[in-house]
Amino acid sequence: MNCAPLLMTHLSLLLVLILASANLTASRSSCPSHCGSISIPYPFGIGSDCYLNEWFAIQCNNSTSGDLVPYLPKINKEVVKISLPDPNNFDDAKSYGSLRIKTNITSMGCSNSSDETKFDEPLNITGSPFTISRSNIFQAIGCNYKATLTHLDPTVVGCISTCEPRKIGDHTSCRGNKCCQVDPPSEIGQIVGISMEEISSNVTRKRGCRVAFLTDENQDPLAYREGKVTDPKWFYDRQYVRLQLRWAIQMKNLSFINSLGCTMGHSSSSVSPCICVNNTNDQISSVGCACHKGYIGNPYIMGGCKDIDECQLDKGNYENCRPQGGTCVNTPGSYQCVFKNGTKINYSFHISCGFAGLCVGFGVLMMVFAVAFLLCKFIKKQRKIICKNKLFRRNGGLLLKQQLTSTEGSIEKTKVFTSKELKKATENFSSTRVLGKGGQGTVYKGMLVDGRIVAVKKSTVVDQDKVGEFINEVVILSQINHRNIVKLIGCCLETEVPLLVYEFVSNGNIFEHLHGEFDESAMTTWEMRLRIVIDIAGALSYLHSSASTPIFHRDVKSTNIMLDEKYRVKVSDFGTSRWVTDDHTHLTTVVSGTVGYVDPEYFQTSQFTDKSDVYSFGVVLVELITGEKPISLVRFLRNRTLAAYFILAMEENRLIDIIDPQIRAECKLEQVMAAAQLARRCLMLTGKDRPSMREVAMELERIRSSTKDLQSNVHIVKNNAEEADIGVESCSVDTTSTLDAEPLFPGQTW
């Protein structure tokens, strides 16, 4: 058989391919390599035949300043920088190049002429070889709003930025006050948008300009001017931030990849100057290429990876030869040290196996290490699961499940959270999420996956002998449905101590508003204070008599009475406190409570009743009438408690003198006098002489609606002098100081 014609055909085809390759290389060498000061490496290019496909086409335009800037018309974005894959950090998960572009900022209330919100269309690069990089950070700057990344279903990613009037913001970092930031999910994909919404209609909070954006500039300390990281107006005036995209070659261009002559995958026997691998962590099928170590250049150009002559380098590999008396000889991708006795030492940057036995042995060794690693990881995971199950059972998880199964009706049941859910919600219980610390534990602010803002209470320690009582109380409290009581959403029993999850209340507590810890407050009118005290009485009356099981609060005080954005009362931190032990750093006995609020009868008998809550409520009512703190060192010794101070003023007919000056001028004196009489009854020394909370609630409603009847009945009731003898000395050792007591939901936000 004559093979000459077939051989000639093959040679002709080979010659055509060589000539085509030469022509292509020659044509690309004439393509511009820069646009202005920015390098444009292939597969990107300027002009026809200079780019791989239309996604990589670059237009070089004149900016308003006259400088040339690169532009990607296919995605309508200005380019800041293009980088090839990093050969020193190249594997199946990191085989991308990077593309940094300018993207718009989403803003709210930044226009001088209006309070409009500027929402841009979501960034949509579907179908392109680009994906949004994980290196970006989602950042929100401004006051009192929630910013969220959209089009990430089912994932919810966002953060809340507030301006706390009691804090001086750190203008050089983003820690929740005036600025918040959060990592995006590991896989964003090719489409993402930003939404912004108000979180408070409270007139006491600042608003102003607010912005949100996704950017990688947080990695560059020189990207922002000093002090501008919490200044939304600076970003709004700047009009853009830098966003990092990843790029690779789509699988539909596989013929182009094959034409490069690179090694596909991590072949140990390859001597090719470049390597290409399939991207494993992406939503699109693509391939990335890089020059092997020992080579430098562009792997996307045939012959673009050039050998590095290590012997010509001033530092590094050549110096390995000289101290040993050898001569450096450059080789493709590596170098040799040749000695006078003929010995040669190869310094190869490729993994090569000269001997099959060595390769097999090394492979087996690596396999053993891999199996040992996976086994160790599996055992560690199983131990963690066993530990969580043990804690779940120890903290009453099985009893809770039984209770939940037996609970009937339409009332929302307790949600049992996993520790993973609450760690994610609180950023692993970050110190930046701490709302407050007290004798019973620490409270963190968190965001659940459904976007709800919650407060997570992490108790100091729990009494293991009363776990059953604790679980029963959790079930009861979760069934409470009253508009003036903070809702217990659920709990987590997989941790050393149980975690309780409550609804979040954002507008601080009565103590903060009364005693000047807010710049402004709506509690400067008697009508507002009367409405608040009526709400408190209604909530306590519900707990005492209307709930499925009577519940005593046990720690009624102004720091435990929260206010929402509309100044509606939310009574918090009740019920479960009887089973959570106090922090041992405080001096305590079996009697628990807060100095200035504790019932003197309870202190003497250690028997807590519903009338003990009535006494504490009376102190709160006096706080609202007088604006005084429950304990004050500036008052005389016997009058340091507000109760004693108030009773003495009533006996001396000086009530008008101690009414809070903020409300004295405009208040209805008859209502204040009647409320003071009611407070005096609540502060009786013996519980049987005090009204019930139901009677208190009814009396307050009558006071609000029956001013005429009150006018003729106002009088000051003088009681036994023993009622005034309620000093600090009687309970200062056995109760927690009000200075140590922290609210469950302070008015701080992130």
The CA distances from residue 646 to 621, 626, 639, 680, 717, in Å, are 11, 9, 8, 8, 12
Give me the residues paired with residue 182 across strands: 138
Helix, strand, coil tally for the chain in percent (to 5): 35, 20, 45
Question: From the DSSP assignment, how many helices (H) and strands (E) are in the chain?
Answer: 18, 35
Give me the residues paired with residue 331 across strands: 334
CA distance 246 to 593: 58
Q: Which of 592, 644, 582, 579 is nearest to 618 (CA)?
A: 644
Token reading at 285: 């099928």
Catalytic entry in 555, 573, 599, 660:
555
Q: Strand 130-132 relative to strand 210-215: parallel, antiparallel, unpaired?
A: unpaired
Give yes or no: 564 in active site: no
Token reading at 254: 């596989």
CA distance 132 to 213: 13
Give me the residues paired with residue 193 across strands: 150
Q: Which of 475, 465, 453, 450 is nearest to 564 (CA)?
A: 453
By the 8 A CB rule, do 487 and 505 touch? no
The CA distances from residue 113 to 98, 110, 116, 197, in Å, are 39, 9, 9, 20
φ, ψ of residue 447 in degrees (nearest 5): -125, 120
Residue 410: other Cβ atoms inside 10 A: 4
Give me the residues paired with residue 456 across strands: 444, 501
By the 8 A CB rule, do 166 and 508 touch? no
CA distance 100 to 199: 33
In the chain, the amino acid numbered 732 is S
Helix, strand or coil, per DSSP, at residue 459? strand
Query: Pseudo-torsion of CA 375, 377, 380, 381, nearest 10°?
Result: -110
CA distance 267 to 550: 73
CA distance 244 to 146: 23
Judge if the upstream peptide bond of residue 43 is cis by omega within 30 degrees of 0.
yes
Give the residue numbers marked as catalytic.
555
